[in-house]
Amino acid sequence: MSNRIDVKKTYKLFINGAFPRTESGRTYEIKSAKGVFIANPCQASRKDLKDAVVAARAAQPGWNKASAYNKGQILYRLAEMLEGRRAQFVDEITSVTGVTKIKAEKEVTESVDRLVWYAGWTDKLSSLSGALNPVAGPYYNFTIPESMGVIAAIAPETPSLLGLIDSIAPIIVGGNTVIVLASTKAPLSAMSFAEVIATSDVPAGVINILTGKKDEIAPWMASHMDIDGLDISGLAPKTHGEVRVAGAENLKRIYSFKSADPGRILAFLENKTVWHPIGL
Amino acid sequence: MSFEYAPAPESRSVVSIKPKYGHFIGGKFVTGAKHFPTINPATEEVLSHIALAGKAEVDAAVKAARQAYTSTWSKMAGKERGKYLFRIARILQERAREFAVLETLDNGKPIRESRDVDVPLAAAHFFYHAGWADKLEFAGLGTSTKPHGVAGQIIPWNFPLLMLAWKVAPALAAGNTVVLKPAESTSLTALLFAEVCQQAELPAGVVNIVTGDGSTGALIVNHPGIDKIAFTGSTEVGKLIARAVAPTHKSVTLELGGKAANIVFEDAAIDEAIEGIVNGIFFNQGHVCCAGSRLILQESVAEEVLDKLKVRMAKIRVGDPLDKNTDLGAINSKEQLLKIRELSAIGDSEGAQRWSAPCELPKKGFWFAPTIFTGVTQSHRIAREEIFGPVLSVLTFRTPQEAIDKANNTPFGLSAGIWSEKGSRILWASQQLRAGVVWANTFNKFDPTSPFGGYKESGWGREGGRHGLSAYLKGVGHE
């Protein structure tokens, strides 16, 4: 046994490419499956959400403008960085959730592979959802999918890493920026994933991560007038109705998903149709 | 020398309007309990009396639609469903003149538009979607798509038959049955469409039409027997519907308001742009959710464009909608006329300068002369709110980025226009504009193959094309 004292990590929020503490000063306690203290993550406030939305809005035009090839490489870079830190994520998942190491390894492997899968979608969305429309007249007419803007997401409680990936990647694939609320009970994967993001050439503000209480933050996300869409997959179905009512004020697009498929990407894209006459 | 136009009225003998109508439920016309008058907005003549559906009638319609869905329509092979839609398209073509005249009488729009736009496009929508009915597995949504079941559809008064076609054709092609409510002031072509369903021998209950006002619409929106709501109308009502269905299992599509920017760059072909501006705002009396109601002119050409626009506007022929030479018909209702007058008066009081085309307006009926406001700023209500009439707000810009910023400075996002002779500028602007439909060097063009619908508060979903079809199918990746 070594007598060395561990250097423990302070788990903070991830907003605009930086790691601030919550402005509210609030934290909550995370214990291991065996009841041992692990960390005091931030309990994000409404102001933290507002700050994240401001960052996401500011970052959106730049991210949208990046070529699909560039976006794909950045998403792939996330997979590369995650692959290199597998052990850290396996440790965090096993300590917080109490699952076996084999199960945790499986989740981390799937997470890396899922990121690679999403990375390959960036330059195929217009093949999937675009169209040249044969209108009855001398017009060139096409429809292309386009980013919706700023999207918020509530990640599921478990799996804490894979669920987080599914709450981030499909949203940013097509040029949106995201504010994700991590698993409340198992937020360590999310805060460590922020370190992966910070080293993957993802521009500041494209991905913002909050930790805290879902019941508190979900209604703020739903009623925020500068959020265009909301993924509520991580919320209990019985609360979906209430959140949808709050989101109606700016006709926010609110969806819940059960799986990772291209529909999950397309849900937060708009389709734009452009007409131009053909003639001499 | 001046030329006078002789009157050229389209004959109304092609239509026969009953003094009173009921609802179309389960393949039959059933008597209504209460009735309200429907008028010709050009003359204020009472055309007929329309039934007001209450709970009993809506219940009966939903029950008929469910019965038809369960016993017939959901079991029928797609190729057979498609044949019914092809039949409907053909009958609409055969009876096109009758529909056009009836639409013009009930709505007030010029016969030139109902004859050349509304009715042919309605037939085209049925023809297009008919072909989808047996090809749903190739719609790009996976092979296990299913219809929602019973669709409740609520449509507006600006394009009564065409909006019916936009709603009913994809719903039926995808295998849903429908309960449709036309707008209170324009029910007649929907009721004539019920006859088309009978002539096409469409199975009873696949299409049900209940007439009424907003209270009937609310009964449909809140009905537990309906699986899918499709609404076209105001953003205000759209939000009420979004809230009402939020706690339910219902799927929703909304086509709502707009305040489209029509941007004219200094290198535009000005004469073509003038025609586009006129078509953008004065088509259908400006009763168009995607109307180009904010003209955004580059300063260097603003004076030239406005001078030419006024000359062109003075030539717009306002009057008898049945006259084949009429360009601008009647405002659809007294209520809408009052709203247009109110917002225009606010334009005056906020300091914009009004100019109306010099034209004689008929004594009877509801009329508003083609009007532009110059000196409009972004904070003016006439630059922010949908007027839904022949009123154009004019703003100016210096740099292309300023044009885009002004164009996007709205909670709406339905459509936009670009006028420029430079390809790269058109493509740049079309990328920057936050709108679902962008018309470049054209405006107000529609086609069943072309998805139509809005960003932001202009709605949810698309109508037309494969994208529009998907709104009537389940299994698209999210619940």
pLDDT per position as a tens digit, B278-335: 999 999 999 999 999 999 999 999 999 999 999 999 999 999 999 999 999 999 999 9
What whole-number distance in Å separates Cα of residue B242 and Cα of residue B460?
A: 10
What whole-number distance in Å separates Cα of residue A15 and Cα of residue B137?
A: 43
**pLDDT tens-place string over residues B380-417:** 999 999 999 999 999 999 999 999 999 999 999 999 99
Reply yes or no on whether the pLDDT at B479 is more than 60.
Answer: no
- Report which residue type is found at B29: F
State the span(s) of chain B assigned CATH 3.40.605.10.
23-256+456-474
- Residue B457 sits at the chain A interface (C-beta within 8 Å): yes
Of B182, B178, B165, give the one whose Cα is nearest residue B206: B178
Mean pLDDT across A134-153: 98
**pLDDT tens-place string over residues B196-239:** 999 999 999 999 999 999 999 999 999 999 999 999 999 999 99
The model carries a pTM of: 0.96
At B55 the three-state DSSP class reads: helix
What fold, for A37-277? Aldehyde Dehydrogenase; Chain A, domain 1 (3.40.605)
Of A80, A109, A114, give the one whose Cα is nearest residue A93: A109
* Residues of B labelled as active-site residues: 255, 289
**Strand partners of residue A147:** A269
What whole-number distance in Å separates Cα of residue B181 and Cα of residue B214?
A: 10
Reply yes or no on whether the pLDDT at A121 is more than 90.
Answer: yes
Reply yes or no on whether the pLDDT at B15 is more than 70.
Answer: yes
Which structure tokens are listed for B294? 């904010």
- Report which residue type is found at B300: S
Query: Helix A162-173 vs helix A68-84: angle between axes, to the nearest 10 degrees?
Result: 160
Mean pLDDT across A77-83: 98
- Total length of chain B: 479
Best of A259, A272, A280 to mutate (most B CBs within 10 Å, chain B):
A272
Chain A interface with B: residues with Cβ < 8 Å: 128-129, 131, 133-137, 139, 141, 143, 148, 228, 240-242, 244-245, 247-251, 253, 255-258, 261-264, 266-267, 270-277
Chain A CA closest to residue B235: A251
Between chains, do A264 and B441 touch, taking CB under 8 Å as contact? no
pLDDT at residue B140, as a whole number: 81
What whole-number distance in Å separates Cα of residue B238 and Cα of residue B256?
A: 7
Question: Of all residues in chain B, what percent carry a pLDDT higher than 90?
Answer: 96
CB < 8 Å to B235, chain A? 251
What whole-number distance in Å separates Cα of residue B143 and Cα of residue B31?
A: 43
pLDDT at residue A1, as a whole number: 55
Reply yes or no on whether the pLDDT at A113 is more than 70.
Answer: yes
Of B320, B324, B284, give the one whose Cα is nearest residue B10: B324
pLDDT at residue A34, as a whole number: 87
Reply yes or no on whether the pLDDT at B4 is more than 90.
Answer: no
**pLDDT tens-place string over residues B107-156:** 999 999 999 999 999 999 999 999 999 999 988 888 888 999 999 999 99
CB < 8 Å to A258, chain B? 479
The string over B243-274, giving b where at least 16 C-beta atoms fall within 10 Å of a residue's C-beta and e elsewhere, is bbbbebebbbbbbbbbbbbbbbbbebeeeebb
Taking the CA atoms of B58, B187, B182 and B381 in sequence, report the sign of the dihedral they define. negative
Q: State the ipTM, two decimals.
A: 0.96
User: In this structure, which long-range contacts are made by residues B297-303, counting pairs with CB atoms below 8 Å and at least 24 apart in sequence?
Assistant: B297/B264, B297/B394, B297/B395, B297/B396, B297/B397, B298/B264, B298/B265, B298/B266, B298/B396, B298/B397, B298/B398, B298/B403, B299/B396, B299/B397, B299/B398, B300/B266, B301/B264, B301/B266, B301/B268, B301/B270, B302/B394, B302/B396
What whole-number distance in Å separates Cα of residue B197 and Cα of residue B175?
A: 16
Cβ count within 10 A of residue A101: 11
**pLDDT tens-place string over residues A205-226:** 999 999 999 999 999 999 999 9
Contacts of A268 (CB under 8 A, 6+ apart): A147, A148, A151, A170, A171, A174, A176, A229, A231, A253, A255
Of B423, B123, B451, B466, give the one whose Cα is nearest residue A141: B451
Helix (H), strand (E) at residue A191: helix A188-198
Of B300, B291, B314, B315, give the one whose Cα is nearest residue B270: B300
Q: pLDDT band at residue B5, thresholds of 50, 70 and 90?
A: confident
| Angle of CA points A75, A81, A83, to nearest 5° | 105
**Strand partners of residue B35:** B51
Cα dist from B238 to B348, B412, B435, B460, whole Å: 29, 13, 18, 10
**pLDDT tens-place string over residues B237-261:** 999 999 999 999 999 999 999 999 9
Reply yes or no on whether the pLDDT at A275 is more than 80.
Answer: yes
CB < 8 Å to B459, chain A? 251
**pLDDT tens-place string over residues B46-57:** 999 999 999 999
pLDDT at residue B478, as a whole number: 43
Between chains, do B477 and A271 touch, taking CB under 8 Å as contact? no
Reply yes or no on whether the pLDDT at B174 is more than 80.
Answer: yes
Of B73, B229, B233, B204, give the one whose Cα is nearest residue B152: B229
Q: Does domain B23-256+456-474 fall into CATH 3.40.605.10?
A: yes
State the span(s) of chain B assigned CATH 3.40.309.10.
261-440
Side-chain-facing half-sphere of A32: CA atoms under 13 Å: 11
End-to-end Cα, chain A, rounded Å: 84
End-to-end Cα, chain B, rounded Å: 67
Q: Across the interface, which of B247, B462, B465 has its CB nearest the CB of A241? A: B247
Taking the CA atoms of A64, A68, A70 and A74 in sequence, report the sign of the dihedral they define. positive
Which structure tokens are listed for B477? 């990746």
pLDDT at residue B1, as a whole number: 66
Contacts of B339 (CB under 8 A, 6+ apart): B387, B388, B389
B260 DSSP 8-state letter = -
Render A146-171 in DSSP notation, one character per residue. Answer: EE-SEEEEE--SSSTTHHHHHHHHHH
pLDDT at residue A126, as a whole number: 95
**pLDDT tens-place string over residues B352-377:** 999 999 999 999 999 999 999 999 99
What fold, for B261-440? Aldehyde Dehydrogenase; Chain A, domain 2 (3.40.309)
Residue A91, sorted as left (phi over 0), alpha (psi -120 to 50) or beta, turns out to be: alpha
Best of A275, A276, A278 to mutate (most B CBs within 10 Å, chain B):
A275
pLDDT at residue B150, as a whole number: 98
What whole-number distance in Å separates Cα of residue A173 and Cα of residue A110?
A: 18
What whole-number distance in Å separates Cα of residue A190 and Cα of residue A11?
A: 10
Between chains, do B426 and A143 touch, taking CB under 8 Å as contact? no
CB < 8 Å to B465, chain A? 131, 133, 143, 273
Between chains, do A274 and B254 touch, taking CB under 8 Å as contact? no
Mean predicted lDDT score pLDDT of chain B:
97
Round the CA-based radius of gyration of chain B to a whole number and report it.
Answer: 22
The string over B116-146, giving b where at least 16 C-beta atoms fall within 10 Å of a residue's C-beta and e elsewhere, is ebbbbbbbbbbbbbbebbbebeebbbeeebe
Question: Of all residues in chain B, what percent carry a pLDDT higher than 70?
Answer: 99
